[in-house]
Structures are given as C-alpha cells and as structure tokens.
C-alpha cells in the first residue's frame, strides 16, 4: 500500500472512531449508562491517536520529500529548511485542516478525560458534541480535502514554501491562532451539555473557565504575532489592515473577551446566565465562521487559501450549529432567567455590562463591515469593498471607551458603588489623563484620536497601578522591602484579579502603540548611490548597492546609513530578493526599532545603474504594541498559575456566605 492510501485509511478509521464516540456518548447520556460513556471516550481517544498518527505521517512525508503526495510537492522542496518543512504542515489548506483537527482532538480528549470525574453529569453530552465537531472535520479530510492525495507523474522537486511564509512569526502565529480557535470548542461543548441536560447551575463555566482562558490567551498572542508578521514581512509599514481574515480572528476574540468579563457577574451575582451561554456558543460559532471565511474564497484577502469546495461544506455545519445551539438556548430560556436585577447603574455589574455592550457592538461592526460587500454583491451585483477608514471611524471611538472602562470599572464596587470612594481613587488618574491631553493640545497635536488615546492610556495605567499600590500597601510587610512583599502577597493571593490587571496594562500599552500611528511620517523617492534624504530627525544616506546570489534567491541589497544629530546610529540593509523556486520577488525590510520610534525602510526596486526606489516610514511607538503583548502574556500566565476553581475552597466558602447574606 502506498503512503497516500495509507494516510487516507488512517483518516477514515479516525472518522469512524469519532462517529462511534458520538453515537456511544449520546446513548450513554440518554440511558445513563456509564459503560457506554467509557466506550464513547475510548473511541474518542482512539480518534486522537489516529489523527496524531496521520499528522506524524504527513510530517514524515514532508521531511522525506515524498513528492508523490501533492501536498508535499506544493509546500516544500528539497531546499526547504527543517523548520519550514515542519511549518509546511499548516501552510496549505489540507494540511492546516489536518492540523486544526489534531488540535481539536487533543483538546476534546483532554477535556473528556479531565472532566469525567468532576462533571459526570455533563461530560457524556460534551464528549458527544466534541466528537461531532471532530467527525465533521475528519469527514472533510477523508472525503473532500484529502491531504494525502497523490500526484502523477511525481515531480522531481517541490515548489517550496512561499517566501512570504518563511518567517519565524509565520511558523508560530498560525499555531497559536489555531490553539485559540479550537480551544473554544471545550467551553462550547460544556455550555451545550448544560443546556441539553438542564444542569444550568454554575458548573459548566467554572469547570471550563481555565479552558476558556487558555484558548483566549493563545488567540490573543496569535493575533498580536500575526500583526508582527504583517509588519516585518509584508513591507507596507503597518501591522493591521482590517483584512477579512484578520477580522475573522478578531471576532471570536471580542466575544470571548466579553465572556471572560461577564462570567464574573454570574459568578458573583448569579445574573446574566442566558447572555453568558449565548456568548460562549457565539464565540465558537465565530471561530468556525472564521475558518469558513478563509477557505471559501468568499472574500479576497492576503490570507485566503485557494477557492475550494470545502468552504461550502462549512456553511451547513455552521447553520446546524447555530440553529441547534441557540434553539436549545431558547428552549431553556425560562429556566435560565435570572431573578436578580441590576441594583444601580453605578456598580461593577453595570460596568461589566457596558464592557459587554461595547465588545459585542465592536464585534457586530467588524462582522458587518466584513460581510457588507458580500450582501451588496448578492443584492445588487455591484462589487464593492469596505476600506480601513470605515473600521477606524466606527471601532476607534468604541475601543477608546472600552479602554476607559478598564480604568474606571475596577474602582467601582459590586451592587452599588460609593461615589465618595470612587472620587478619592479616581482623582489622581483623572488628573494625569487630563494633564496629558492638555499637554498634547499645547503641543498642537492634530489627531483627536491620538490625543484621547494617549490621555486614556495615562488614565488607565495610573488607575491600574493604583490598584496594585493600594493592595500592596494593605499587605505591607516589615521593612526594608515591606511594599514589595505586600505586592507579592496581594498578587499571589488573588492571581486572577491581579493577572487581569496586568493584562489590562498590556492593553493600555498596545493602545499607546496604536496612538503612535497619528504621528507617522513617510517618504518615498529614487536615490542614486551617495544621495541622502531626511525623515523626522534622521538623516538617511544611500551608501552602496550589494548584489549576490544564493541557491534559493538573488539578493539586491541597499546599504543605508542612518544618522542622527550628525552621528551615524545604524546601518540598515533593505533587500529586494528574487526567489527562484516561485519566481517571486520579495522585500526584506530594513528596520531600526527604539522605544520611541521605528525607522522602516522598504526597497521596492533597484535598476541596472544601482539606483534604488525606496520608501521609508517613521512609525512612532510601535515597539509598545509588542511590549504590551508581552505584558498580556505575562498577565495570562499569572491568571493561569492560580489554583483551579475546584480547589479554591476558601473562595467558594466566601461565596456561599455571600449567597446566604444577600437575599435573592
């Protein structure tokens, strides 16, 4: 049996196992038969083992340069380096689908194994839901997008990985995004199970909370690294273009973020049960929608895979998911309704509600802007496109309001806030923020967005740091490191809360970085060796051209000297390369990053007389976006380092006491 047939046989067997798991798990929930549940889980475990085997087989074929497989021939070549040979697994449509299935399987099996003891009442149905998802993807792989399809005649060499994808960011960014997208399957399945079984107590989300945080964290870092890839590789000076596929990754992030916030209201006050279930169901549906969007050829984007029939198969699957999930929600609506109401507009609950309102409205705006061209074309036949200005104008103000809420929200008490304590706590941050805006106005900053963005940055940062300072002061130890000890005690004692604040600080830093866009400068022109130009406070000179060839590409490089105040501070070498395998030119940017600004050079052309066409950007504050991303990652680690909810006895006792104290 040849490799192609063997690989497909494994996928068929895995599909069969997932289907068996679906049937057994469903039956076990109906008949309350533990033996059937065990068989269902075992079938799912077998599916995981088989999908892992299929993925390893594909990796082995990539490394063995087995060009009899069409996929291997299209995404690798004899000269592809080991790292990029591995990343070829998720570079194309079939491989990325296999990889996506593998991750979903691993999440599904781990969730089933971990939760079977903790949530025996929910796990069979959740396992059935996860098996159904896995079976759908395996069905696609086995029958519609077979990664093990063979070609004949066997080409002597493969086409290799597209040079744009040969970047360390591209090696890691899709993996993180997929880990994020697929991870939401677990809370989705448990929310679904709680609707089916009618066990609508707190259970489903306390036990899947960490899964949600893990998925959300991967998605967040994945999105930020995607921006970094665009910035470093695509050579247009920016990091976010409101491209349909970028939007597709942002949608589940927005609703997932809303969920992580609003779930706290349910935990504390048993409110918003319907809303929370709807949010998490919607989040996974949006993740599936994103995969559909990238693979359907419905919209054009820098990311799309080639148009393929499997795109169309996502639509019915998505429709079934939406109808069944939200149908169940409607069915259980009465049982889910909370009998508690908002007590004051000036309370933590109300702040979270506004946070949710903004996040969901942003999600809707992004969805609308992304799909609007599709609607218009369907209705009138006109082909249109919606540009970044739309998203910036509509999302910008809402995002700023959201960042502002991150500053005020934590200062407002649950149930009913106290105006006096808020005034005391908000005074310093508000004055610093206002002061920043006044200073910027005096400096004649024209962009209102940047002015408010920077003002809010200062406001929220001060307010958040104030929370740390108050906490540390309350737990102050003996000198000389009293405050520091206090900080460690308070952060270590409530990692979820302070981890969350660290994430907020990360968001604030990203906001700072984005505000820099308003001060961006650009230059473009033609230079002969010896020519100079200036941009901002930099004097940039074109010293010489260098051209050489490697096995893979022809390199044309411009040696640029960068000077400031008469002193040479850097030498940048933007390149224009021609990759032989794909016959594709590619620019490598010249980049000098400092905390205050990035100097970004793109060589677009070099002629026979060594004259270069160059475009230069001075992008202020961009580095803070990546630093903010690192802060967010740190905050997530702090949150996840806390003990899982099952072991948090003290807090549940506190919660119990509160429940008794607050009459419903």
Partner 1 sequence: MSPTARFSLAAGVVIVAIAGLIVWSLQSSTAYYKTPTELMSGAQPAEQNVRVAGRVVDGSIVNEGATTRFALTDGVTALTVTTQDVLPDTFAADIETVAEGGLTEPGLFTASTVLVKCPSKFEAELAAGTP
Mark the segment that binds partner 1 (CB under 8 A) among 259-267, 313-321, 348-356, 647-655: 348-356
- # residues contacting partner 1 (CB under 8 A): 67
Least CB distance to partner 1 at residue 87 (A): 13
CB of 140 to partner 1, least distance (A): 18
Residue 638 CB neighbour total at 10 angstroms: 20
CA angle 383/94/182 to nearest 5° reads 85
Under the criterion CB under 8 A, does residue 587 sit at the interface with partner 1? yes
Instruction: Identify the residue whose tokens are 């903004």.
Output: 358
Residue 213 and residue 180 in contact, taking contact as beta carbons nearer than 8 Å: no
Residues 6+ apart with CB under 8 A from 394: 365, 369
Pick 29 or 73: Cβ nearer partner 1: 73
Residue 245 CA, chain-centre distance (Å), reads 12
| 3-class state of residue 68 by DSSP | coil
Q: How far is CA 380 from the centre of its chain?
A: 34
Interacting span for partner 1 (CB under 8 A) from 10-18, 134-142, 354-362, 621-629: 354-362
Which 218-257 positions form the footprint of partner 1 (CB under 8 A)? Answer: 235-236
Q: Which is nearer to partner 1, 290 or 486 (CB)?
A: 290
Instruction: Say which residues have a Cβ less than 8 Å from residue 553's Cβ, sequence separation at least 6.
Output: 163, 577, 578, 579, 580, 586
Q: Using the rule CB under 8 A, is 357 a contact of partner 1?
A: yes
- 47 touches 17 (CB < 8 A): yes
Report the nearest approach of partner 1 to the CB of residue 6 (Å).
Answer: 25
Q: Name which of residues 302 to 321 contact partner 1 (CB under 8 A).
A: 302-307
Buried b / exposed e over 616-630, threshold 16 CB at 10 Å, is bbbbbbbbbbbbbbe
Find the shortest distance in angstroms from Cβ 346 to partner 1. 9
Cβ proximity to partner 1: between 27 and 401 the closer is 401
User: Is there binding between residue 387 and partner 1 (CB under 8 A)?
Assistant: yes
User: Which of 537/584 has CB closer to partner 1?
Assistant: 584
Specify the residue, 270 or 361, whose C-beta has the smaller distance to partner 1. Answer: 361
Contacting partner 1 within 43-72 (CB under 8 A): none
- What sign does the CA torsion over 598, 503, 401, 208 have? positive
Q: How far apart are CA 252 and CA 216, in angstroms?
A: 9
Which range in 128-136, 250-258, 387-395, 539-547 contacts partner 1 by CB under 8 A? 387-395
Answer for which of 59, 106, 318, 394 binds partner 1 (CB under 8 A) is: 394
HEC sequence for 110-166:
HHHHHHHHHCCCCHHHHHHHHHHHHHHHHHHHHHCCCCCCECCCCCCCCCCCCHHHC
* Minimum gap (Å) between residue 158 Cβ and partner 1: 9
Contact letters (x/-) for partner 1, 599-638, by CB under 8 A?
---x-xx-x-----x-x-----------------------
Nearer to partner 1 by Cβ, of 136 and 275: the residue is 275
Write down the least CB distance from residue 599 to partner 1, Å. Answer: 16
Residue-wise DSSP of 551-589: SSEEEEEEEEEEEETTEEEEEE--EEEEETTTTEEEEE-
User: Judged by CB under 8 A, does residue 398 bind partner 1?
Assistant: yes
Q: Is 405 exposed, middle or buried (0-12, 13-18, 19+ CB in 10 A)?
A: buried
Taking the complex as a whole, how short is the minimal distance between the CB of residue 439 and partner 1, in angstroms? 29
Among residues 2, 34, 343, 571, the one that binds partner 1 under rule CB under 8 A:
343
Nearer to partner 1, 331 or 375 (CB): 375
62, 71, 67, 17: which is closest to 44 by C-alpha?
17
Q: Which of 46, 60, 53, 109 is nearest to 89 (CA)?
A: 60
Question: CB-wise, 306 or 444, nearer to partner 1?
Answer: 306
Run of H or E including 548: strand 538-549
Q: Is 538 helix (H, G, I), strand (E, B) or coil?
A: strand
Which range, of 9-17, 47-55, 112-120, 342-350, touches partner 1 by CB under 8 A? 342-350
* Residue from 37, 265, 287, 353 in contact with partner 1 (CB under 8 A): 353
Q: Which of 232, 342, 627, 640 binds partner 1 (CB under 8 A)?
A: 342
Is 382 one of the binding residues for partner 1 (CB under 8 A)?
yes
Please state, as a whole number, how many other Cβ atoms lie within 10 Å of the Cβ of residue 523.
16
**The one segment of 335-343, 465-473, 481-489, 537-545 that binds partner 1 by CB under 8 A:** 335-343
- Select from 50, 165, 461, 560 the one that contacts partner 1 (CB under 8 A): 165
Choose between 18 and 89: whose C-beta lies nearer to partner 1: 89
CA distance 329 to 282: 12
- Considering the complex, state which of residue 504 and residue 615 has its C-beta at the smaller distance from partner 1: 615
Contact call for residues 49 and 55 (beta carbons, < 8 A): no
Interactions with partner 1, residue window 168-227 (CB under 8 A): none
CB nearer to partner 1: pick between 14 and 88: 88
- Looking at residues 539 to 568 of the shown chain, list those that interact with partner 1 (rule: CB under 8 A): none
**Site of tokens 């059937």:** 36
Which one among 585, 592, 640, 652 touches partner 1, defined by CB under 8 A?
A: 585
| 524 counts as binding partner 1 under rule CB under 8 A | yes
Bridge partners (DSSP) listed for residue 538:
535, 564
Asked if 283 contacts 256 with a C-beta cutoff of 8 angstroms, the reply is yes
- Does 159 bind partner 1 (CB under 8 A)? Our answer is yes
Question: Which C-beta is closer to partner 1: that of 300 or that of 647?
Answer: 300
End-to-end CA distance of the chain: 67
**DSSP secondary structure letters along 607-628:** -TT--EEEEEEEEETTHHHHHH
Q: Work out how close the CB of 342 gets to partner 1 at its nearest, in angstroms, rounded to a whole number.
A: 4
Which listed residue (95, 124, 227, 369) binds partner 1 by CB under 8 A?
369
Position 301 contacts partner 1 (CB under 8 A): yes
- From 42-50, 106-114, 139-147, 579-587, span contacting partner 1 (CB under 8 A): 579-587
CA-to-CA separations, 192 to 94, 130, 182, 205, 456, in angstroms, rounded: 29, 10, 16, 11, 39
Least distance from partner 1 to the Cβ atom of residue 86, Å: 17
Does the protein bind partner 1 through residue 372 (CB under 8 A)?
Answer: yes
Give the H/E segment covering residue 180. Answer: helix 168-183
Tokens of 617: 């950007």
Question: For residue 113, what are its two tokens?
Answer: 């194994």
Residues within the interface to partner 1 (CB under 8 A): 73-74, 91-92, 155, 159, 162-165, 235-236, 297, 300-307, 341-345, 347, 350, 353-354, 357-358, 361, 365, 368-369, 372-373, 382-390, 393-394, 397-398, 524-526, 581-587, 602, 604-605, 607, 613, 615
């Amino acid at each position: 049996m040849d490799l192609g047939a063997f690989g497909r046989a494994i996928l068929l067997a895995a599909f069969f196992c997932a289907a068996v798991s679906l049937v057994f798990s469903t039956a076990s929930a109906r008949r309350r038969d533990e033996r059937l549940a065990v068989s269902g889980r075992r079938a799912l475990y077998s599916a995981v083992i088989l999908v892992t085997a299929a993925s390893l087989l594909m990796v082995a074929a990539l490394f063995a340069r087995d060009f009899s497989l069409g996929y291997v021939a299209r995404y690798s070549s004899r000269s592809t380096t080991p790292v990029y040979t591995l990343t070829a697994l998720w570079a194309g449509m079939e491989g990325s689908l296999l990889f996506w299935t593998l991750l979903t399987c691993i999440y599904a099996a781990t969730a089933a194994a971990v939760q079977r003891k903790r949530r025996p009442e929910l796990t069979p149905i959740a396992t059935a839901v996860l098996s159904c998802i896995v079976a759908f993807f395996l069905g696609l792989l086995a029958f519609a997008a077979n990664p093990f399809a063979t070609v004949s005649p066997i080409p002597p060499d493969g086409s290799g990985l597209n040079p744009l994808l040969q970047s360390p960011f591209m090696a890691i960014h899709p993996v993180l995004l997929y880990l994020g997208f697929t991870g939401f399957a677990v809370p989705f399945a448990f929310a679904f199970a709680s609707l089916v079984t009618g066990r609508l107590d707190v259970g489903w989300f306390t036990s899947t909370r960490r899964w949600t945080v893990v998925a959300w964290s991967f998605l967040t870092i994945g999105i930020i690294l995607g921006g970094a890839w665009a910035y470093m590789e695509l050579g247009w000076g920016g990091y976010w273009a409101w491209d349909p596929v970028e939007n597709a990754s942002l949608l589940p992030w927005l609703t997932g973020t809303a969920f992580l916030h609003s779930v706290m209201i349910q935990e504390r006050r048993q409110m918003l049960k319907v809303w929370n279930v709807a949010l998490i169901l919607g989040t996974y549906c949006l993740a599936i929608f994103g995969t559909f969007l990238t693979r359907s050829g419905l919209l054009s984007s820098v990311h799309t895979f080639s148009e393929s029939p499997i795109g169309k198969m996502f639509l019915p699957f998505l429709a079934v998911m939406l109808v069944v999930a939200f149908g169940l929600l409607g069915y259980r609506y009465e049982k889910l309704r909370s009998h508690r109401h908002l007590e004051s507009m000036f309370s933590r609950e109300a702040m979270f509600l506004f946070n949710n309102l903004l996040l969901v409205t942003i999600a809707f705006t992004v969805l609308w802007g992304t799909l609007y061209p599709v609607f218009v074309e369907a209705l009138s036949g006109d082909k249109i496109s919606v540009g970044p200005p739309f998203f910036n104008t509509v999302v910008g103000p809402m995002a700023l309001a959201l960042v502002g809420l991150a500053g005020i929200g934590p200062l407002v008490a649950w149930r009913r806030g106290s105006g006096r304590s808020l005034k005391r706590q908000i005074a310093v941050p508000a004055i610093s923020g206002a002061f920043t805006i006044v200073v910027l106005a005096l400096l004649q900053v024209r962009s209102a967005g940047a002015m408010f963005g920077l003002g809010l940055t200062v406001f929220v940062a001060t307010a958040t740091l104030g929370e740390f300072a108050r906490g540390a002061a309350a737990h102050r130890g003996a000198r000389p490191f009293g405050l520091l000890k206090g900080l460690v005690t308070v952060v270590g004692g409530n990692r979820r809360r302070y981890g969350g604040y660290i994430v907020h600080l990360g968001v604030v830093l990203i906001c700072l970085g984005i505000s820099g866009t308003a001060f961006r400068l650009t230059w473009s022109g033609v230079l002969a060796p010896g020519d100079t130009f200036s941009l901002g406070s930099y004097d940039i000179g074109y010293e010489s051209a260098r051209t050489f060839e490697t096995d893979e590409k022809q390199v044309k490089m411009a040696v640029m000297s960068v000077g400031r105040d008469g002193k040479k501070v850097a030498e940048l070498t933007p390149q224009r390369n021609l990759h032989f395998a794909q016959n594709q030119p590619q620019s490598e940017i010249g980049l000098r990053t400092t905390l205050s600004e990035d100097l970004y050079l793109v060589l677009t052309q070099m002629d026979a007389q060594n004259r270069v066409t160059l475009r230069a950007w001075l992008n202020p504050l961009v580095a803070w976006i990546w630093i903010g991303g690192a802060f967010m990652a740190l905050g997530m680690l702090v949150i996840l380092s806390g003990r899982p909810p099952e072991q948090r006895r003290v807090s549940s006792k506190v919660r119990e006491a509160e429940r008794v104290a607050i009459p419903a």
